[in-house]
Amino acid sequence: MKAAIIVFPGTNRERDMAIALERVTGRKPAMLWHRDTALPQGLDLVVLPGGFSYGDYLRCGAMAAQSPLMAEVKGFAARGGHVLGVCNGFQMLCEAGLLPGALLKNASLRFLAMDCTMKVERADTAYTRGYQQGQEFRATMAHGDGNYFCDDETLARLEGERLVSLRYTGENRNGSINSIAGILSPNLRVMGMMPHPENCVDPLVGGEDGLPMFQGLADSFLTAA
Ligand SMILES: NC(=O)CC[C@H](N)C(=O)O
């Protein structure tokens, strides 16, 4: 699998993401700076990692969504490329219009840094094939704006077309509509999720519940190893 991680000013999870990807592929992903103007040839996956791009000024992910390389990411997605956005990356995907809806402030108006559990709503995507349908897994949440919201029509479409990939179980701490933790584009190639699977790939630090996501991605792109 050939993967690239895009780094923005204020991104802070890019190294965790690189470790998670390298763990399953044995090769380091390309680290790209947001001012770059081209994606490497033959990419399988682009990752928009978590953090505080541009200090969360204006709105989380809003300024990153205007970065030069994001125009390339949009083109990559339009050609059917896989794009994963985690936390701030999910916020960027919504701000860039690659996924519908928005991430509002957590219902409590407090930053939440804690473990959470999610249920896999569909296991037939590159991101979730490492899990069983309905499987519950744990990951870390660390966000101030993780309260997923969209209008009724969009929500009906997301649910009706089964584009909700991950749903919180237990307490809905950030207030997300329908307890949504992750959503997919209609072609199932773009996924945004708030919790951090990249922080759960090592039994010594946070457990390994996130590993199947990366393993599933690696298995999806075996030919490109
Ligand atoms: N860990 C993250 O990516 C956080 C995203 C964003 N800065 C927020 O607080 O909501």
Summarize pLDDT for 171-189 with one digit per residue, the tens: 999 999 999 999 999 999 9
Q: What is the mean pLDDT of residues 217-223?
A: 90
Instruction: Give distance in angstroms: CA of 52 to centre of ligand 1.
Output: 6
Residues in the chain: 225
C-alpha 88/C-alpha 79 separation (Å) is: 23
Atom 3 (ligand 1): residue with closest C-alpha?
50
Mean pLDDT of 134-157: 98
Report which DSSP code applies to 106. Answer: P
Give me ligand 1 centre to Cα 177, in Å: 18
pLDDT of residue 154: 98
**Average of per-residue pLDDT across 148-160:** 98
pLDDT category of residue 225 using cuts at 50, 70 and 90: very low
Q: Is the pLDDT of residue 224 over 70?
A: no
Of 53, 56, 176, the one to substitute when testing ligand 1's pocket (max ligand atoms within 8 A of C-beta) is 56
For the packed helices 14-25 and 211-220, what is the interaxial angle rounded to 10 degrees? 60
- pTM to 2 decimal places: 0.97
User: Residue of the nearest CA to atom 5 in ligand 1?
Assistant: 88
What is the set of active-site residues? 87, 196, 198
Q: Tokens representing 161? A: 């077309």
Kind plus residue range of the DSSP H or E element containing 213: helix 211-220
pLDDT value of residue 222: 84
Q: What CATH class does 3-223 carry? A: alpha beta
pLDDT in tens, 80-138: 999 999 999 999 999 999 999 999 999 999 999 999 999 999 999 999 999 999 999 99
Q: How far is the CA of 93 from the centre of ligand 1 (A)?
A: 13
Give the integer Cα–Cα distance in Å for 18 and 182: 21
For the stretch 36-64, pLDDT in tens is 999 999 999 999 999 999 999 999 999 99
Distance CA 61, CA 117 (A): 24
